[in-house]
């Protein structure tokens, strides 16, 4: 008799857009026939690609969906789909419109992806949909923030461009950059992954070290945030936390945070904008395997025990273990952040 395979499923916590109830603790994502292969969250809805290549949209969106999909990029105005040998952008209204507003057939032999990478450049889920990139870059991965972009080159180099007003380009200043520019501060340390949040950027070295830069107004860089220090209540007892079952480790770390607040805000150097990449000291010397960024938060999966450490919007500038998964006998394998939520793929141990 064959052993049953490990139960693998997706969980989500945070803003659920327009489904009831809003916000709250971790919930299972309803499975799809064939399993959920790809999770791409937008703000008011999430796009899923099933193991059978079917596109499913959950949240504030309804209507007939085009079939046979490999990947998608959702935005509030459009859904950009990779279907077979074509890239298509469908305009959003209350449902999807009758046909694609934009199509880009791929030439034979051309492949797109991982999205947003496409032949000749990259795609965005809003006009002009296709942006060129210098071919010499040979990007492995490309990620988009609200007003900047970052890409991972073949040798593990990181390039950034766009608006730099919040330090998200990592070149040390606040000036905008129009073409992809090498992040010099990381040169020499090969990166394995890169992620972009609304106004911040994160990269993971091949050795599992986490580098952060950009805006820290909600503590998303896990660096001391003045705004949070001013909001923190003085007594450990009154520190609030979201409803997360089995948050034993989390509570202990919360106590630590309150103690530091008691030392006084003057004892700490607050960081509002980090214009050069900073190496993060994660608890217990964990190595990071995967990272993802939301609009104003960051989530990382650590290798050793599969813990998930994340910073919640407006409440913590300290990486905090999410106790839900070890408490329920689950190992975290992947994380994908939406703007205001976090999706986790976890498997029973």
Partner 1 sequence: MSRPSSPEGLATSSCPAADQVSAGNTMWADIRALLPNTKEDLKLDFSEKVEESVISLLQQARDLLYGAGSLCSGSTRETCLQVSEIIIDYSWEKLNIGTWRDVDKDWRRVYSYGCLFKVLCMCSEQGTIAETIRVCDMGLLMGASILDNILVRIINVLQKHLTYGKRSAEEDTKESCRKKIRNDHTTVPSIKSEEVIPRLHCPSLEHFRDNYMIPQKPVILEGIVDHWPCMKKWSLDYLRQIAGCRTVPVEVGSRYTDEEWSQTLMIVNDFIDQYIVNKNSIGYLAQHQLFDQIPELKQDICIPDYCSLGEGEEDNITINAWFGPEGTISPLHQDPQQNFLVQVIGRKYIRLYSPQESENLYPHETQILHNTSQVDVEDPDLVKFPKFERAAFQACILTPGQVLFIPVKYWHYVRSLDVSFSVSFWWL
Q: Which is nearer to partner 1, 110 or 175 (CB)?
A: 175
- Binders of partner 1: how many residues, by CB under 8 A? 28
Minimum distance of partner 1 from residue 247's CB (angstroms):
23
Task: Name the one range near partner 1 by CB under 8 A: 14-22, 115-123, 134-142, 150-158.
Answer: 14-22
Q: Does 181 bind partner 1 (CB under 8 A)?
A: no
Q: Does 47 bind partner 1 (CB under 8 A)?
A: no
The counts of H helices and E strands in the chain are: 3, 26
Q: Does 225 bind partner 1 (CB under 8 A)?
A: no
Q: Which is nearer to partner 1, 159 or 199 (CB)?
A: 199
Q: Does 106 bind partner 1 (CB under 8 A)?
A: no
Q: Does 165 bind partner 1 (CB under 8 A)?
A: yes
Q: Which of 6, 18, 63, 134 binds partner 1 (CB under 8 A)?
A: 18
Q: Does 272 bind partner 1 (CB under 8 A)?
A: yes
Q: Does 175 bind partner 1 (CB under 8 A)?
A: yes
Q: Which of 30, 76, 206, 281 binds partner 1 (CB under 8 A)?
A: 76
Interacting residues of 133 by C-beta distance below 8 A, sequence separation 6+ = 120, 121, 122, 139, 142, 151, 180
Q: Does 94 bind partner 1 (CB under 8 A)?
A: yes
Minimum distance of partner 1 from residue 156's CB (angstroms):
29
> In the beta sheet, which residues pair with residue 50?
36
CB atoms within 10 A of CB 99: 10
Structure tokens given for 258: 């309150």
Q: Does 44 bind partner 1 (CB under 8 A)?
A: yes
Q: Which of 146, 189, 229, 333 binds partner 1 (CB under 8 A)?
A: 146
Q: Taking the CA atoms of 23, 24, 25 and 30 in sequence, report the sign of the dihedral they define.
A: negative
Phi/psi at 328 (nearest 5 deg)?
-105, 15
Q: Which of residues 312-341 bind partner 1 (CB under 8 A)?
A: 339-340
Any idea of the CA torsion for 148, 10, 14, 349, to the nearest 10 degrees? -110
Element (H, E) at 325: helix 324-327
Centroid of chain to Cα 168 = 15
Q: Which of 43, 90, 122, 325 binds partner 1 (CB under 8 A)?
A: 43
Structure tokens given for 246: 């089995």
Q: Which residues of 291-307 are buried (b: 16+ CB within 10 A; e: fewer)?
A: bbbbbbbbbbbbeeebb
Give dist(CA 209, CA 244) in Å, integer: 27
Q: Which is nearer to partner 1, 44 or 286 (CB)?
A: 44
Q: Report the interface residues with partner 1, using CB under 8 A.
A: 15, 17-18, 22, 43-45, 60, 76-77, 92-94, 146-147, 163, 165, 173-176, 198-199, 272, 295-296, 339-340
């Amino acid at each position: 008799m064959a052993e049953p395979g490990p139960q693998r499923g997706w969980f989500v916590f945070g803003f659920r857009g327009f489904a009831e109830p809003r916000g709250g603790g971790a919930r299972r994502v309803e499975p799809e026939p064939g399993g959920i292969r790809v999770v791409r969250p937008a703000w008011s809805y999430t796009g899923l690609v099933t193991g059978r290549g079917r596109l499913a949209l959950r949240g504030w969106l309804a209507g007939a969906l085009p079939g046979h999909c490999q990947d998608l990029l959702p935005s509030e105005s459009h859904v950009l789909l990779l279907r077979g040998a074509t890239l298509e952008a469908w305009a959003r209204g209350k449902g999807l419109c009758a046909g694609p507003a934009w199509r880009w057939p791929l030439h034979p032999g051309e492949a797109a992806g991982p999205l947003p990478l496409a032949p000749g450049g990259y795609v965005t889920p809003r006009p002009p949909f296709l942006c060129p990139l210098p071919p010499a870059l040979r990007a492995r991965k490309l990620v988009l923030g609200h007003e900047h972009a970052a890409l991972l080159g073949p040798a593990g180099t990181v390039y950034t461009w766009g608006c730099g007003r919040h330090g998200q380009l990592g070149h040390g200043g606040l000036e905008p950059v129009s073409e992809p520019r090498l992040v010099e501060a990381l040169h020499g340390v090969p990166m394995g992954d890169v992620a972009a949040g609304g106004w911040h950027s994160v990269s993971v070295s091949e050795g599992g070290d986490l580098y952060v830069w950009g805006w820290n107004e909600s503590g998303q860089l896990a660096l001391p945030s003045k705004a949070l220090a001013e909001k923190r209540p003085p007594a450990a007892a009154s520190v609030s936390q979201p409803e997360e079952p089995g948050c034993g480790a989390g509570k202990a770390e919360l106590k630590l945070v309150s103690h530091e607040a008691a030392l006084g805000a003057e004892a700490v150097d607050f960081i509002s904008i980090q214009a050069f990449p900073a190496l993060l000291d994660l608890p217990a010397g964990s190595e990071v395997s995967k990272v993802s960024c939301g609009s104003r938060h960051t989530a990382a999966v650590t290798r050793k025990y599969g813990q998930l450490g994340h910073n919640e919007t407006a409440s913590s500038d300290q990486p905090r273990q999410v106790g839900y998964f070890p408490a329920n006998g689950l190992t975290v394998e992947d994380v994908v952040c939406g703007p205001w939520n976090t999706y986790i793929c976890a498997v029973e141990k």
